Structure 1
Amino acid sequence: MKQPFAWDHYSDQPAIIRDRALKRQMRKSALPSLIKTFLIALITLPIALLLTPFTGRRAISGEHFFGLGVNLDKEPNTTPYLLNELGVKKLLIRIPLWEMDRLHEYVAFIRSLGGKEITVALLQDREHITSADMSRDHFIQIFEALEGVCTTYIIGSTINRAKWGFFSVYEYLDFYAVAYALKKTRFPHLKLIGSNVIDFEYHFSAHTLFNLSPIRFDAIGSLLYVDRRGAPENSQMGFNLMGKINLLSALISLSPKTSNELIITETNWPIQNTAPYAPTSEHECVSEEDYSDYMVRYHLLAFASQRVSCVYWHQLIAPGYGLIDNREGILRKRSAFEAYKVMLSHLSDAQFIDFNYRSDEYTLSCSTPRGELHITWTLNSSPIYTYKAQA
């Protein structure tokens, strides 16, 4: 990344832009797009809200629902063994486009994860956003280098945060269009995931879904964090996690730009006492015990919605928010590592039956080869897995 943009290697995200004059200038230039974002949302979101109760489910099974982010720069030699211990089959690997000189390392790392279903997220910087030719050349290099290994790509990330390089939805649509044109002309077998708005800011999502750009998304990605609200059952503007999922699903169902598939491409909770590695302030951080419970309950609620085809937890190893802490070169599995492993052991072959809650007690029922599975929890207790034996 080039100044004034910079990558924070502690929290694995761009640093906040300190140049206020640049931000004012860019926001002023993006005003037409921002006005259009507002107007599109003003029309489409109320309609989606009205249609939410009538939006159908997708009959999603546990087999393809659970995914995990892994990173080349975090214990790459140990990662395959940890993944096998967990039993996770779907992985997300981020390739920063400003690290094209390391493409051979990323390709080797991805190939070392043989037998897993790989999705690659292509992270943008300002240079790639403003140079279609550079983006096109680098997309081609990546698609060709991973031919036969990966067919699913997330194009761009966190498009509604200036520190990630985008100052408008217009810019994102132009960036995505470069990849889409390559799919149409040279790589028709690729699956491209787009939109990729972070948090509950669906006015940006609406603009990516309703526009006149000559593009189409094979699936919609969402970095649906709810960490600033505490537990995943907590509400924001009247919407808890499941409500947010249902609203976004209804919005997607209205769009002519995509199939009706929603993927949560990134989510987690920051962990207490891990600064500077935590990606937020200490105020939003939670204990390792709460992190473990919230993680499992997030997955259970998303699965119960039957509107999310996959959740990619971010991620396996990260001091500030991962299942494993690797500070000072020592790998320490947090309680969430075991909780994720247990969750997969019960749900990786599950089929949804029913979900209900009353008096703050939640119950998810699924069919499995071992019998009917019931998972219960409250806002103050960890999920409990019980089976009803088959007759």
Structure 2
Amino acid sequence: MDEERLKAPFKWDDYSDQPAQLKDSKYKKQMRKREILSLTKTIFTALIILPFSIIAMPFVKRKQIDSESFFSMGVDYQREPELTLELLKELDVNRILLRIKLWELETIDELKSFILKNKNKKIILKILQDREHVEDLELLQKDLRVIFKTFDGLVDIYEIGSTINRAKWGFFSVDEYNRFYKVAYDLKTEEFPDAKLIGSGVIDFEYHFTAHTLFNFFKYHYDGVASLLYVDRRGAPENVQMGFTLADKIAWLSTMVWVSPKSEHSLHITEVNWPIAGTAPYAPTSEYECISEELYADFMLRYHLLSFASQQVNSLSWHQLIAPGYGLVDSRNGIRKRSAFDTYKFMIQTLKHAQFLRLDIKRDYYILQCLVNNRLLQIHWTLKPTTLRNEDFFEVYSMNGKLIKNETLEIGSSPLYIYIKEAV
């Protein structure tokens, strides 16, 4: 397959920061037919591993997650770089996720300069693939060596590849990804032993692909598993999909990581967001899936709270800081912080040193309890709006950090932070 053919069907959409839809149906059919053996292995692996891992779910213990490094922000280092540095300082987040495109390595010095300005933060570097690097593994090895050498000692974790179960991202089978990841793993083993590699990179609740990345005969190992775990984009993070809540999905995925001989028991959700209404062509989905900015802030916070409460996710990266269609900041006409920016900022400020205690759910009413500076904090929200008396021993804040002194508290989609004062 010549180089022109490798590149022709694949185009990058700068509006939504992802590849454009792959419209060459003949080419897709041809490539999937070529990978029929791998697709068959995916099916048979899933038939064995998925039921087994469901049975094993009750036996996987929660970990104690480091809240300081749990919260992570996805950043485009080329989009308003100076402003980005200011916003990151304001958010005071300890971990950021950056992307580098294998087909744009001429920007590597620019990325290194940005990383050096964030030396006080843990960096996840997501290495994005194109079809040329999937096909040409020698080229892949050459370019990965440049990346690993350039960022040796500067990057905490490398995420190898992304969104492997979508053809527009360049992979047509799990085995293609397995060969891709093995190049990175072999390079790490032989030349960069201190590099930490996470992989798998499956998007959405499609765990049959995940199973094949974690159970196969390729000789490689993950330092943790990366997942782009989106929930039902037409609804709330608490929604049930095929009988599974977000907490169930995390527990199932964590179990597969736990029982796999190919990975450390470490799970990183490296991309999640909701598309925002009225932002086409910047929204990564159709208008049908888009939600209001108010719901975006609610859903963003609740997804984080549920993931943190699972105590099975080592880091969660929100995608991303500045993006008109799905980010905390809208950059279409100047710079405008969405309300979700303050939501995220107050969440980080409050929970980055929190110790998780428990999550109680009763009739769609949620109470997350944790210790913050030796104070008991409860975070309340419900899918069925109700009221709660603001007791004298409550100290209540909105999800954007505003003190609430009303006698009656409106509990609904927007979580409230309630500190329980000690009895005098």
TM-score of Structure 1 vs Structure 2, range by shorter chain:
over 0.9
One-letter identity of the residue aligned with 2:125:
V
Aligned residues: 390
SS at match of 1:382: coil
What is the percentage of aligned positions where both structures have the same residue?
54
SS at match of 1:58: coil
Aligned residues of 1:229 and 1:236 also touching (Cα < 8 A): no
SS at match of 1:352: strand
Q: Residue 121 of structure 1 aligns with which residue?
A: 126
Q: Residue 50 of structure 1 aligns with which residue?
A: 55
1:133 offset after TM fit, Å?
A: 1.0
1:216-365 → structure 2 map (5 Å cutoff)? 216-328=221-333, 330-365=334-369
1:73 offset after TM fit, Å?
A: 2.5
**TM-score of the pair, normalised by structure 2:** 0.90
1:36 offset after TM fit, Å?
A: 0.5
Instruction: Indicate which of 158, 161, 171 corresponds to 2:163.
Output: 158
SS at match of 2:264: coil
SS at match of 1:267: coil
Q: Distance in 2 between matches of 1:390 and 1:37?
A: 55
Aligned residues of 1:158 and 1:223 also touching (Cα < 8 A): yes
Q: Distance in 2 between matches of 1:310 and 1:147?
A: 21
One-letter identity of the residue aligned with 1:316:
L
Aligned residues of 1:72 and 1:106 also touching (Cα < 8 A): yes
Q: Residue 366 of structure 1 aligns with which residue?
A: 370
Whose radius of gyration is greater, 1 or 2?
A: 2
Aligned residues of 1:350 and 1:366 also touching (Cα < 8 A): yes
1:151 offset after TM fit, Å?
A: 3.5
Aligned residues of 1:227 and 1:269 also touching (Cα < 8 A): no
SS at match of 1:228: coil
One-letter identity of the residue aligned with 2:17:
D
1:50 offset after TM fit, Å?
A: 1.3
RMSD, matched Cα = 1.1
1:70-85 → structure 2 map (5 Å cutoff)? 70-85=75-90
One-letter identity of the residue aligned with 1:371:
R
Q: Distance in 2 between matches of 1:348 and 1:113?
A: 18
Aligned residues of 1:159 and 1:196 also touching (Cα < 8 A): yes
Structure 2 alignment gaps of length 5 or more = 1-5, 384-411
Instruction: Indicate which of 11, 26, 31 corresponds to 2:36.
Output: 31
1:390 offset after TM fit, Å?
A: 5.4
Q: Distance in 1 between matches of 2:111 and 2:83?
A: 15
1:51-70 → structure 2 map (5 Å cutoff)? 51-70=56-75
Q: Which moved more, 1:102-111 or 1:344-353?
A: 102-111
Q: Deviations over 1:75-128 (max 9, x none)?
A: 111111101111111000000000012211111122222311111000000000
SS at match of 1:385: strand
Q: Distance in 2 between matches of 1:36 and 1:363?
A: 42
Q: Distance in 1 between matches of 2:310 and 2:362?
A: 16
Q: Which moved more, 1:315-324 or 1:369-378?
A: 369-378
Q: Distance in 1 between matches of 2:46 and 2:109?
A: 42
Q: Deviations over 1:284-316 (max 9, x none)?
A: 000000000000000000011111011000000
Q: Distance in 2 between matches of 1:45 and 1:263?
A: 20
Aligned residues of 2:73 and 2:95 also touching (Cα < 8 A): yes
Q: Residue 416 of structure 2 aligns with which residue?
A: 384
Instruction: Indicate which of 106, 110, 114 corresponds to 1:101.
Output: 106
1:52 offset after TM fit, Å?
A: 1.3
SS at match of 1:52: helix
Q: Residue 138 of structure 1 aligns with which residue?
A: 143
Q: Residue 188 of structure 1 aligns with which residue?
A: 193
Aligned residues of 1:66 and 1:310 also touching (Cα < 8 A): yes
Runs of 4+ residues over 2 Å off in structure 1 = 388-391
Structure 1 alignment gaps of length 5 or more = none
**TM-score of the pair, normalised by structure 1:** 0.98
1:227 offset after TM fit, Å?
A: 4.1
1:252 offset after TM fit, Å?
A: 1.3
1:334 offset after TM fit, Å?
A: 0.1
Q: Distance in 2 between matches of 1:244 and 1:119?
A: 23
Pair 1:214 & 2:219 matched: yes
